[in-house]
Structure 1
Amino acid sequence: MRILTQNIYNLFKRETSQKYIPELDGLRFLAILWVVLLHIQVLYQIQINPTISDHGFEKLLWYIINNGHMGVPLFFAISGFILGLPFAKHHLVGVKKVSLRKYFWKRITRLEPPYIIALSSIFLIKVVLNKSVFLELLPNLGASLLYLHNFIYHSASKITPIAWSLEIEIQFYVVAPIIALIYRLGLKRRRFIFLLAIFIIPFLRNFIDISFFSFFRYVHYFLVGMLLCDLYVTKSQISINKGLALVLGLILLFSLLLSDSYGFWAKVIYPFLIFMFYYIVLNTQFWQNVFRIKWISIIGGMCYSIYLLHYVLISVIIKRTSLFSFSTDYTINILVQILILLPIILIVCSIYYLLIEKPCMNINWPKNFKKYILKHIYILLRPNKVK
C-alpha cells in the first residue's frame, strides 16, 4: 500500500526547476478549495435561490464559503513568492543571475498550452450546444486568449469568468523582474519598501481606481509573497514552539476565512493576515507537516488545471444535481452538492493535469515535441528507408 501511495504521489507531483517546496502546494490546495466551494455555492443559489438562516451553523457555513473570492489573493501571494524566488536568490545569496529570456520562455511554455486548450475547448463546447453564439463569443475568446478581456470589455469573460485573475497573473509575470530589483537594496530599506507598499496601496485605491480588474488592484498581495521570499531566502526565522504555532496558526487561518473582505480596513489588514499565516506555514514544523500531507500537496499541485476547468464543470453538472432536493435544510443540500461535485471535478481535472499540464512543466517539451513531429514526418515521407 505504501509503495502504491508513493507511486501515485510521484505520478502527480509537479515538476519544477527549483527546489520543490511541498507546503506551497498545500497552500494552493487551501486557495483552490475555497474558490471551488464558492462557485458551487453561487451556482447552486442561482439554480435554487434557497432560504438561508440568519443565525447558527448554516449562516456561518454560507459566510465562510461566500468569502471564497479571497482565495484568489492567496494565489497571488504564492505567485509573488514563487516568481520572486530566483531573483531573491541571485541578489541576496549570490546564486546565478536569472536569464530573462529563459524566465519568459518558461512562463510561455508552462502556462500557455493548458490555458489555450482549456479556453478553446470551452468555446467549442458552447458553440456546439448553441451554434448561434459563435460570432458573439469569438471576440471574447480572442480577448481572453490575449489576456485583454478585462481591459477591452471591463467585464468577466463569457468563455469562462474565472479568466480575469489569470490576466492579472500575466501582468505580474511581466513586471516581476522589475519589482524584484528591490532585492538589490539593503535589508532594512527593501523590507521597509515592501511593508510600506503593502500597507499604503489599499489607501491609494480609494483615490486612484481603475474601472476594470487590473494588476494595480492586487499588487500588494504579490508583494506579500515577495517579502516572504526575502525572509525565506535569508533564513530570517523566529523560533515558535509547537503549541504556540498551533494556536496562532488556527487563529490566523480562521481570521482569513472569516474576515469581512469588503470593508476598507479588512482590505488593509488582510494582506498582513496572509503574510503571518504563510510565514508560520513556511517556518514551523507543525504547519509544514500539515500542508505537506501528500494528498493535499498533490491536489494543490494541480490547482491550475482545476482552476481552468472547475467553473464550467460545475455550471453544467449543477443544472442536473440541483433538481434533487435532499432536505429542507440548506446546509444538508449544499453539502450534498459539494460531495457530488468535488470528486467529479477532481477526476476530470486530474486527467487534464496528467495529459496536458504536467507535460508542459518540462521546459524541454517544445524541443522534444518538434523532434517527435519531424521524425514522424520523415517516416511518412521515406517509409522504405526507416527500419
Structure 2
Amino acid sequence: MQTAAASTSSAPADAKRQVPELTSIRAIGAFGVLLTHAAFWTGHYTNDWSGRLHGRWEIGVTIFFVLSAFLLTGHWLGRLSDKDSPTTQQRPSIRRYFWHRVKRVLPAYWIVVTVAYLIHAGDEPTPTGAGFNGWLRSMTFTQTLEFGWVHPGLSQMWSMVVEVGFYLVLPLVGMAMWTVGKGRLKSVPVLAIIVAFGLIGPIWTVLSHHVESLPVVSRLWPMAYFDWFAAGMLLAYGRRVGWRVNLPVCWASAVSCFIISTTWYAGPATLVPDDVDQALWKTVLYGLSAAFFVAPVALNAQVSWLRHPALVWLGEISYEFFLVHVLVMDWAMTHMGYQTFQGSMFALTIVTAVVSIPLARGLRWLTDVMTGRPGPAKLWDKTVG
C-alpha cells in the first residue's frame, strides 16, 4: 500500500500507454513493496541500518501515489487552455472520471478481498478483521477507521484506502483549478492550490501524533499522504507547461534522499514512527525521493531500459500483483515451513513473485473481460520505441 500536456492526458490509461516508462516504474514500485513485506515477515526489520533499509523499500507505495496523482491530475490540467488563449474545451466529466476509477480499481480489489475472507472464513471476528463485518469494512475501504480492523492477509490495503481517498477529493481540487482560472491555466493560483493541498499531509501528521482524541490508526488516513500526491500533481503541472530536468541529477537526488531516509532521522523500520519529527522527516524524504525518481520520465525523458517489453508487461499487472502478493506470501510462509519473523527473505521474495505474477495476470485478464478494458501488452512485444 500510483501530468501531461493536453495531447497526452485525454485519459489516465492513454497517458500510461503513451509513456511506457511510467508503466515500468509501477513494476519497480510493486517490487519495492514485495521486498519490504518479505523483509518484515522474515524478521529483517531489525533495529539497525540494515533493518531500516529493508523497511524503507515501502517507498514503492510513495511511487504509486506520485504516479497516480501525476496521471490523474494531468487529465484536468490538460483541459485548461493557455493563459492568453480562449477557453475551447469543456471541463472534464466527473461522472466519467469516477466510472473509469470504478472499472479499474473495484473489480480486482473486491475479488481479492472476498477470496481472502473465504480462505480465513474460520478465523475469529477479532482482532484480525475477520468475519462478515470485517469483510464489509474491507469492501467499503473503511478498515482503517479503527485499530484491529485490517485483515492479516490484506495488510497492504491501507494504501488502497489512501488511494481511494485521493480519488474522492481530486475532482474538488480539479474544479478549484478550473474555477480560479476560468478554464485557463494560470500558474500562480494552480500552484497555490497544489501547495495548499500538499500541506494537508504534514499538518495531519502533526495532529495525528498530538491530538489524543484521534486513534493511532489515524496516522494512516488519506490526509496524511496528500503531500505525496501533491508531488505528482506538481509534476503534472510541470509537464503541462514544459518543464525539463536533468535525469542523472534527478536520480542522484532520489538515491540521496532515499539513503538519508535510512538514517535515524526518519525513525525505525516501521510504517509510521511514533516520534512526530521522525514521521515528518520520513514523509518528506520519501516524497522527494519518489518525485525525483519519477520526474525525468514524467517530464518526457526517454529511458531505454524502462521501455523493455518485459518490464512494461509487469507494470501493466502491477496493481493486481500488489493485491495478491500478501495472500501468496502468507501461503508461501506456511508451505516453506517458515515461522513468523523467520526464514530467508530472498527465498520468500522469489517464491512469492513466481506465484503472484501468473495470478496477477489471470486476475487482470478476468477483470478486463468483466469491464471491457483493453488487456496489457504482450510479454513478447518488441521493445517500445
Specify the TM-score bucket, using the shorter chain as the normaliser. Answer: 0.7 to 0.9
**One-letter amino acid matched to 1:302:** I
Q: Secondary structure at the match of 1:149?
A: coil
Give the superposition deviation at 1:308.
1.0
Q: C-alpha separation between the residues in 2 aligned to 1:304 and 1:113?
A: 12
Structure 1 stretches of 5 or more lacking a match?
1-14, 325-329, 366-387
* 1:47-58 alignment, distance < 5 Å: none
Q: C-alpha separation between the residues in 1 aligned to 2:119 and 2:318?
A: 22
Judged with a 3 Å threshold, the aligned counterparts in structure 2 of structure 1 residues 257 and 145 are, in CA distance, closer, same or farther, namely: farther
Judged with a 3 Å threshold, the aligned counterparts in structure 2 of structure 1 residues 107 and 163 are, in CA distance, closer, same or farther, namely: same
Judged with a 3 Å threshold, the aligned counterparts in structure 2 of structure 1 residues 83 and 142 are, in CA distance, closer, same or farther, namely: same
Q: C-alpha separation between the residues in 2 aligned to 1:51 and 1:110?
A: 33
**One-letter amino acid matched to 1:91:** L
Judged with a 3 Å threshold, the aligned counterparts in structure 2 of structure 1 residues 172 and 154 are, in CA distance, closer, same or farther, namely: farther
**One-letter amino acid matched to 1:74:** I
How many residues get paired? 327
Q: Does 1:231 align with 2:225?
A: no
Judged with a 3 Å threshold, the aligned counterparts in structure 2 of structure 1 residues 90 and 144 are, in CA distance, closer, same or farther, namely: same
**One-letter amino acid matched to 1:118:** V
**One-letter amino acid matched to 2:103:** T
Query: Which region of structure 1 is more displaced relative to structure 2, 154-163 or 19-28?
Result: 154-163
Q: Secondary structure at the match of 1:160?
A: helix
Query: Which region of structure 1 is more displaced relative to structure 2, 140-149 or 161-170?
Result: 161-170
Q: Does 1:41 align with 2:43?
A: no
Q: C-alpha separation between the residues in 2 aligned to 1:217 and 1:362?
A: 34
Judged with a 3 Å threshold, the aligned counterparts in structure 2 of structure 1 residues 272 and 236 are, in CA distance, closer, same or farther, namely: same
Task: Determine the structure 1 residue equivalent to 2:294.
Answer: 278
Q: Secondary structure at the match of 2:56?
A: helix
Q: Does 1:215 align with 2:222?
A: yes
Task: Give per-residue Cα distances to partners, 1:234-265, cap 9 Å, x unaligned.
Answer: 22224x3xxxx335414423533651444233
Give the superposition deviation at 1:68.
2.3
* 1:234-313 alignment, distance < 5 Å: 234-238=241-245, 240=246, 245-246=247-248, 248-253=250-255, 255-256=257-258, 259-260=261-262, 261-262=266-267, 263=278, 264-283=280-299, 285=301, 288-313=303-328
Task: Determine the structure 2 residue equivalent to 1:314.
Answer: 329
Judged with a 3 Å threshold, the aligned counterparts in structure 2 of structure 1 residues 122 and 222 are, in CA distance, closer, same or farther, namely: same
Question: Is residue 20–residue 312 contact of structure 2 (8 Å, CA) maintained in 1?
Answer: yes
Task: Determine the structure 1 residue equivalent to 2:369.
Answer: 359
Give the superposition deviation at 1:322.
4.7
Question: Is residue 137–residue 158 contact of structure 1 (8 Å, CA) maintained in 2?
Answer: no
Give the superposition deviation at 1:118.
0.9
Task: Give per-residue Cα distances to partners, 1:197-250, cap 9 Å, x unaligned.
Answer: 535742553245543221110111111111111111222224x3xxxx335414
Give the superposition deviation at 1:95.
4.5
Q: C-alpha separation between the residues in 1 aligned to 2:169 and 2:200?
A: 19
Q: C-alpha separation between the residues in 1 aligned to 2:27 and 2:63?
A: 10
Backbone CA RMSD of aligned residues: 3.2
Judged with a 3 Å threshold, the aligned counterparts in structure 2 of structure 1 residues 72 and 334 are, in CA distance, closer, same or farther, namely: same
Q: 2:13 aligns with which of 12, 16, 22?
A: 16
Task: Determine the structure 1 residue equivalent to 2:347.
Answer: 336
**One-letter amino acid matched to 1:105:** W
Give the superposition deviation at 1:31.
1.2
Question: Is residue 39–residue 345 contact of structure 2 (8 Å, CA) maintained in 1?
Answer: yes
Q: Secondary structure at the match of 1:156?
A: coil
Task: Determine the structure 1 residue equivalent to 2:80.
Answer: 91
Q: Does 1:103 align with 2:105?
A: no
Q: C-alpha separation between the residues in 1 aligned to 2:282 and 2:136?
A: 36
Question: Is residue 16–residue 361 contact of structure 1 (8 Å, CA) maintained in 2?
Answer: no
TM-score by length of structure 2 reads 0.74
Task: Determine the structure 2 residue equivalent to 1:376.
Answer: none
Q: Does 1:25 align with 2:23?
A: yes
TM-score by length of structure 1 reads 0.74
Q: C-alpha separation between the residues in 1 aligned to 2:110 and 2:204?
A: 35
Q: Secondary structure at the match of 2:80?
A: helix
Structure 2 stretches of 5 or more lacking a match?
1-11, 83-87, 268-277, 376-385
Task: Give per-residue Cα distances to partners, 1:272-314, cap 9 Å, x unaligned.
Answer: 332222212323645x333222212211221111111100100
Query: Which region of structure 1 is more displaced relative to structure 2, 209-218 or 139-148?
Result: 209-218
Q: C-alpha separation between the residues in 1 aligned to 2:229 and 2:200?
A: 14
Task: Determine the structure 1 residue equivalent to 2:131.
Answer: 137
Question: Is residue 23–residue 312 contact of structure 2 (8 Å, CA) maintained in 1?
Answer: yes
Task: Determine the structure 2 residue equivalent to 1:147.
Answer: 141
Give the superposition deviation at 1:192.
4.1
Question: Is residue 302–residue 353 contact of structure 1 (8 Å, CA) maintained in 2?
Answer: yes
Judged with a 3 Å threshold, the aligned counterparts in structure 2 of structure 1 residues 322 and 37 are, in CA distance, closer, same or farther, namely: farther
Q: C-alpha separation between the residues in 2 aligned to 1:51 and 1:172?
A: 29
Q: 2:164 aligns with which of 170, 184, 197?
A: 170
Q: C-alpha separation between the residues in 2 aligned to 1:51 and 1:175?
A: 34
State the percentage of identical aligned residues: 18
Question: Is residue 172–residue 215 contact of structure 1 (8 Å, CA) maintained in 2?
Answer: yes
Judged with a 3 Å threshold, the aligned counterparts in structure 2 of structure 1 residues 354 and 258 are, in CA distance, closer, same or farther, namely: farther
Question: Is residue 70–residue 235 contact of structure 2 (8 Å, CA) maintained in 1?
Answer: yes
Q: 1:350 aligns with which of 338, 361, 378?
A: 361
Q: 1:181 aligns with which of 171, 175, 179?
A: 175
Q: Which has the higher contact order (CA 8 A, sep 6+)?
A: 1
